[in-house]
Every structure is written in C-alpha cells, then in structure tokens.
Structure 1
C-alpha cells in the first residue's frame, strides 16, 4: 500500500510539473511581446490610447464642425433621386394606397350625411395624390426633400459631437501634449498656452511620468461614430498627420483609464515574472524526475481505476483521450487568462493558481488515460480483445451480418426509404395542399405495396415463430409451408430439415437404446454360457472319485470352453480397437486370390463336415491390391466362418473374385439356415448373430470387425438379403503404390 501511495504521489508531482512547464511555455510564447517591456508606456495598449487621442484631436479640434454656411454645398445626384423614388414604390401603387386609406372614411361620412367631412377627406386625399404625383413627375420636388433630409442629418451630427465633447475633455486630461499638424502648421495642445513657451516648460519638467516625441502620427479614423449619415459634400473631413510630444504627467488622475491600465499592467507583469520563474523551476524538476524514475512508475498505480475504465470500448476511450487532450491543449493555450482577470495583484495570483489547478486536473486525466492505454497496448492479447469490443467493430459486424442476406437487407432499406419518403411527403402536403394529388399517386405506387409486403413478411415470420415454439415443445408432426424463394422461405425449409433431423435422431436414439439393451443381453449370454460351463466342470473335477477317463473328458470340455471365452474376449477387444481408430495398417502389395485360397484352406475340414459345396471363381492371373494382408485375411476368415456356421447344410456357397477397372470385388453368397431380419444395418451391430437363439458358437462380432477393417482400407462392405439368400460384397480400391 505504501508503494502505491508513493507512486501516486510521484505521478501527481510529475503532472503538476508538466502542467507548469507547458503553461509557462504557452504563456511566454503568447505574452512575451507584452510583459517583457520596460513598463506599460512601451506596450501596444498605450500606443492605441495615443492613437485614440490623435483621432480625438483630429475630429474635435482640427476638423471644424459644419455650420449653416455649409448647407448650400449639399449636392443631390440623379442616382439619389432615383433611389428615393424606388423607396416610395410605383406611382400607381402609391395612389392606390392613398385611395384605400381615405375611401372608407369618405364612404362612412357620406353614409352619415356629413358632406363637410366628405369634402375635407376628399380634399386631403387629392392633395396627397397631387403631392406624390409631383414626386414622380418633377425632379426638383424630390431634390428639395433630399436636401431637407441632409440638412437635418448635419444638425444631428453636430449635436452628437457636442455631446461627446465632455468625454473628450475627460480623456485628454490623462495626457500632456503639444502637436503640430504637418500640412497646415496648426498647433494643438492642452497646456496653458499655445505659443510653445509654457507648453515646452511643462513637458520638460520633472513632473512627467512618461514623455515621448513622435515624428509622424496620422489620424486613422473618426474617434466618435455617430448615428447620423452626414453627406460628405456638406463637410470636408480631413485625416491630418501630426508631430510633437505626448506625455503622461505624474499628476494624472488615478481613476483615469490610462493610470488604471498602468497599474494593472504592473500587477500582470509581476505575476508573469513569478509564473515564468516557477515554470522554469518546474521544467528543471520535470527533466530530473524523468531521468530519475521509470515511466511506468511515474504513471502511478491505475489498478483501482483500470478495471472500470477498460469497460469502455477502445474507440470511445480513444475519443475521450482526444477530447481530454484537446481540452487540455486549448486550456493551456489560454495562458493569458491566468493574468487576464482582476485588477489587484492578489486577484491575479488567485486566478493564476486556479488556472494551474484546472490545467493540472486536465493533464492528470490525460496522463491516466494515456498510461492505461499504453499498458493495455503492451498486453497483446488484451489489446486484441479490446479491438474486438470497439463500437466500430460492433457496427462493422452488424453491417456484415445485415449484408449476409442481401435481398432481405434491400427490402428493409426499401421499406425504410418509403416510410421516410411518406413522412416527408405528408409534411409537404400539409404545407402545400396542391401536392395532395401527386402524394396520393405515390402513396398507391409505393407506400401501399411496401405496406402489403411488410404485413405479408410479418405474418409469415409469425407463423414460423409459432411453429418453432411447437417444435420446441415436442410437436414434430407437421411441416412448415415453404412460400416462394425469400429468406423466410429458406428459413422455413431449414426448420423443416431440422424437424426431420430431430425425428430421425429420435428414431436412431430409440434404436440405439434397443441395440444397447440387446448388446448387454447378448454379451452377458455369450460370456456367461462358457463361463458357466467352466465353473460347473471345475466343481466336478473337485470330486476325487472321478475316473481318469471322465476327468480327461471334463478337462477337454474346460479347454474348449476356455478357448471359446478367449475368442469372444479377443474379438471384443479387437472390435473396440478398430472402432476407436487405434489400429495401424501395415499395407503391402498382396495377391487377393492367393490370400483367399489360404483362408479357405483353414476351413477345408469344416466344409467337408458341413456338407457344403464350395464354388470359387477367381481370375487366372494374380490380382494385386495394396492392403494389410493380415487384417484382410481376418476379413476373409470371418466371412468364410459365417458361411460355414450359418449356411444351410448340403447347399452351395459361391465365392468370386472379380478384377474391375480401378477396383477389386469379392462376393460371398450362401443360403442361410436361419431366418434373417430385413434390417441389414442391424447385422453390422456388435454381438448381432443370425442365430437369434444363440446356439451356435459365433461371437456376433465377425461382420462388425470385417466392416471396420474394410473401412480402414477405404473400401466398402455391403450386405444383400433376398429371402434366405445372403450376399456379402467387398469392394477394394486398386491402389498399387
């Protein structure tokens, strides 16, 4: 715990140093031209105040105010006359408007029988019509009206300047100046005399806080902007160029704008220097900490936050990191704000600390996010998992899944487009009623077919969902109707296939349960029979009064039963090994005909005793196949043994080897002595025997082992039953490599 707190404290100190260093860098970059000056009088702000003074002197003193003598100079152009008429509108419209204004009043007076009032309104209406007609027929009439308007504007302009004179007087009280207009030689000063004597004495005295000589100062614009649009033909406004001295006396009022800005600048300059010094120290400390500690340690312990932070998708975390970084960068760039609030030194220091605190929090958030993202990036598995959980990847997956069935996606997009278009059309119809006919036509052509298609698909989907619920509940009797070739029709067809598969699986499961029961019964019977005999004859051998002849007979029986039990166990073990794939084939080039003859030779005596007549058909030439000879001999041994045990006595057994293009076919045919089941697949089951009473000595594993061996060779073993005719066909691919 102590280590975690220490790492967290180191990270916090590191973040504070980063914040101070970065904010100092931005502050110096943005304000170096302001606060590295000697004092306020060398700044651009003071230069703007001097320019404002020049503009005031130029407008209020150098340029004389217009008077009544200037009014005859007013010029009215033809363009102004046309513009005046265009403001009024057309003559017909003006006359119609006047008539519409007076005719109701005239009609009302006439209805009341007041002829005097009718005459008054009629005369006034005609006067206005004559006046407006004169405006459109005579330029002199309009010209006189325009001149009258311009004279009024001049009067308003003079009044507004006089109202601003008090502000001008207050503004120039902060300065002491003596200026000469270079073109006319006029002198402008706010000291006692304008002859230069006392003005120079005042300017050169020690009572000046600041004094500067200017070689050329040109008025840039008007110091006072009025609402009156004065005609420039009536006044001759000039922008003069001035030279002389302008200073700020020590006696300037402390509440004047100049002195207020002077003291604010001093406080800002002190704060700036302190802030810059701290920033340089922070930068040195940042370099030392970065070299002293590893980056992982400086990032601190994020174990408490990381589990919750990592729940956010990676792309959203990246956006959050970008927003935090941009916010921190923008806030750091507002370095001048640290000095831009308050008038006292205390206020400025307070705002500077607040600025640093906010920046520290932003940088801390940025560093924490960056540290957790870097840690996750270094864990390759976690980073890949995070990429799969991004919103972009989720949208990509949904779009990809939506495009799996393109026809369904296009149908959905078509319905959405029609619905959107119908909504837009409805809004248009509400605004423009004339569009209802076109809207109705489009409604019948697109909206109604889309609605019908949607209802049809929804109905079909509901039927599929209902049928699926029935299938889940166990009702497998009825198939779904497949309508058309739509994706829903394909879904219905697939559900039908699943239903058929489930039904088949159930049948197979029932069959498997039945065969399992039979297998247990048969295994128990076949193993218990020789085992019972062994136990019985073992008990008999314990009798000491047995004769030597009986004792030998019992030993022989025990030997036969033991061998029988051994054969059953060996067959079961081999069948299990083959079925589990634990048998490896030692394939070689083998003559099938010779292998078959060797297997038949083993049964010569048994065949003679059974009375069977063997008919073997083989090619004259050897038939070579690439097989495991020992395993294939076991196949022939089992099949020939089945013929001997289960063929009807004194009948013929047919065995044939046939070489065909690309394969070799061996067939075994005999007439069975027992009635066989029509289900051929059951004969391949383990412990399944043709002798259902199980009186013969077969294990019931012969066909199962034979089929498994043939399957391992890539061949086929097929059974055919036609009444009592039993036929086995073994097909082997002819591979000679």
Structure 2
C-alpha cells in the first residue's frame, strides 16, 4: 500500500514538473518574441542608439573642421570651446575619422602615423561609414552635410580595446542579451520537449494515477460555455499583460517570479484541460450547447409556457415589480435626485431584470416538469423520470416522487411475478400429483380384470406401491413446505458438529455414490466445527442437496464438497456439472415445485431446494446458488459458536 502511494505521489510530482517545464518554455518563448530584435545580425550596429552615437560624433568633427576654417586669428581659433571640443573627440577612443575637403584638399584626421587607410580600416574597424557612399537612410543628415561641404573620407568605429566607452558598453549589453536569448531558446526547446513527452507518457500509460485530471475535466464540463469563454478571455488578458512583465531568466531570482511562473503553469494546466475536453467532445457539439446558459434559458422559457395559467401569474408579478421600479425612477427624474442613488437603482433594476426572470422561468419549468411527470405516472407510464436538476424544495419533491414511482413500480413487478409464480405453482402441483394418481387409477382398473396372471398381478402391485409412495412423498413435502412458509415448524436447536452431520449425509448415499459414475471430492477443513442448529433438519438439507447432485449431475464428472470456516462463519460449498441446460433464474429455482429439468422426468418434487433454503434461513443461516455455464454451485453459511 505504501509503495503504491509513493508511486502515485511520484507520478503526481512528475506531472506537476512537466507542466512547469512547459510554463518555463512558454515564458522563454514570450521573452524571445519580445526581444527578437536582439537576435538579428549586428543588432546594435543597426540600432537607434548606434545611429545617434555616430551622428553626434560627426557633428563634433564637423564643428571642429569649421573652427579650423574660420578667418579669425590663431589665438581665437584656439579658444576655450574649440580646445574642449577637440579634447572630447580625442578622448572618444571608440571613433576615428579621416575627412578630406575636396575643395581645399585639406585632410582632417585623429589617426596618427597613418600610411594605408584601407589597411587601417580592415584591421581596426568594427564599423566603417564611407562618406562617399552613404546608403544607410539613417545617416541622411550626414549625407546632406557631406554633399554640401564636398567632403570625402570615413567615420570609423573601432573594435573594442581596453578603453570603456558608452558605445562599447551598449555594444556589450546588446551582445549579452543576444547570448541570453540563445540560452533561453535552448532551455525553452528542451523544457518544452521534456514537458510534452512526460505529459503524453503520463496521459497514455499512467492515466489511472492522474484521476484528478478527469475529475477536473468533469467539473469543467459542468461550467456553461459562456463562462468558459469569459474565463478564457480573462486568462488571455492576464497573460498578454504578463508577457510584458515576466523576467524569469534575469538575476537575481526573486520569489515573485516563481509566483508568476506558477500562474503561467496554472494557465498551461487550464489549456491542457481545454485540449482534452475538445478531443473528447469534438463530435459532441450538441451536448456542449445544451450546457450553455442560452440553451438552459430557452428550455426554461419553453417549459414555463407549457402550463399557461402558471406563467401568466408569474409574469404578472414580474411586470408589476419591474414597473414599480420604473415609476420610482420617473418620480426621481421629476425632482432633484442623487446621482449615486440613481446609479444604485439602475444597477438593481439591471440585476433584477436578469436574475429574477431566470429564477422565475427555472422554477416554473420545474413545476411544469413535476406536473408532467405525475400525469405520465397516472397514465401508467412508470418508466418516466422527472428531472431533478433543481437544488431547492422542488428538486427534493421531484426526487421523492421518483422514489415513490420506483417503489410502486417494484411493487407492481413483484405482484406480476407473484401471480406468474402462483399460476406456475398450481400447474406444477397439478402435474406432479396427477401423474402418480393417474397411474394408480389405471393399474387398479387393470387389477380388476379376472384373466390376469399372478405374475402380472405382482408387477402391477409393485408399480402401485411405487406410485403410492411417490404420491406420499409429494404430499409430505407439500405439507412440510406449507408448515415452513407459515412458520409453524418446530426446531430443536442444540450444539451440533456440522462436519459430523455432513459425513452422515454422505454415508447415507454411500452405495449410490459408489454405484454412480461421479467422482466425489470431499474436503473438510477440520473436525469439530460447532454451531447451534437442528441436527435432523440440517441433515435433511444436506441429504436433499446430495440427492440432487446424484440426480442432475453429468455422468463421469467430478463433484466437489467443501466445509471450511471463514471468520465466525462455517461455509459448506457443493459444486457439480449439470446434465441439463440451466436456463433459469437463480432466484426462481428456490420457488416451490420449480425443477431443473423442465420436462419433469426425474423423481424430484420440486420442493427440495425451497424447503432446504427455508430450513437454513430459519436457523439464522444463508443459502445461495451460483450458476456459471454448466457449473451449479450451492453455498451454505452458518454462524459458528463463540469460543
């Protein structure tokens, strides 16, 4: 039991982990989609931040060039602002520039010792903006200035060195996000694959241990379609807000992120339930529609109008109450009123206009169903069942009426069965008594003949003796059955050994058992199995059952007789293979004059099993019959004496 419980817990944990893995994959997917720009090639180079850095640098260089071109004296050219600007440009180690004025032929650069510009660009450049061929529309401003001043040359963004600048920090930031997103993609794919595999495996091979899924789906099926749609939209809205605020993979890890992850896992579980529900009900749209509020409202209205007198009264009450509300509003409109009170009244009327009609139609429909059900029962249709879907007193009333109908139906069935059995009893008694009696009358007539030989006379007398004894047995059995059923039989209850009584019964039939082709297998658990019983009557039960076995068993078959104890019960089991087809009910075989051979060719009276069962039950025991194909099995239980 403990191992089974542990396995169940392990499977449950495995399922929860699989849902969380899919939730992690979902969050990874959302994060990747929200930041997919960072996955592009040269994402930072193509960003607005990079554009601003390049344009700002070009503007500073351009201002520096203009200051160099001015006609002011040398002292003014080296004025404080110019010096500051040159310092800013030279301190920005992320850029180099090489600009040539085509009009004057003068070259402006911050590259010292330059011998080969192309070689320098190839070795040093992270990005090169060729001023003669500006194709990137982001740099339209630079293109315009270059064309206006007739500049050529290059603005070069250098590869990262030891110096840290804002541009390099931004560049590293973009690359770190790209690296993080690639890891998220790998984690997402692995989490999704493992999660889906686990869920599919558990649903296919361990579904019995995940019964809560089926229970959840059954509860979900009870939710009206309209509420399901609203619930789905609420989840989608929350998830759409979440996708902008979920940062599961950022450091440090906080508890609030696990809470958000749990909510996403809950949403995944909800989608799983929706998916399973869709698969199971994809061809059952009618059933889903019947569970909707609209359909139920329509049915309630339809049922309500079946008895017009009821709906008229209910509608009158509804219209009267709603009219009072409108009169009150009109009265308020004619005088000064409070907006809050007006809003509350309108809200009340809105709720009233929805809830009250729904309640009225539902209750009216229930009343009509009860009336319809009682009419069907009065008409004799006892198979009609009143719908009990109301949780109030009307539902309880419908339930009680259905129970009354079931009891009445059972009573009618028992009465019909009783009449049928009574008819069969009369037929069987007449047949069983008439057969030997007719034989006696016929042979008596033959004996009256004067030309009979002594030998024939002896034969006829033997037959008469046999038939009269047969008739005597039938009458005695009939009287005994009558006495038992009326309760007038006397029992001599005393402490007896059941094993000893069973041995005596078997001993009584020893010669017949030996002469038969049957193979008896007797198994007694132990000697001295004591109970308070009537020894003679109990012997009569065993004698009847063993006699039936000898009469009705298939030739050359085995018979099993077992006596064993189980708790405070002694159990006697007798099993044999029937020679007749047993196409009868196990309950009917206990009826009086009911016999296994319908042709009634055997010597039995048909009262034996009925008498045996009555004797057993009068002694506080129980006797049952089990039929399995041709196997006939009798089980008798007696209460043992307390030790």
TM-score, normalised with respect to structure 2: 0.46
Task: From the CA coordinates, give the structure whose radius of gyration is larger.
Answer: 1
TM-score, normalised with respect to structure 1: 0.40
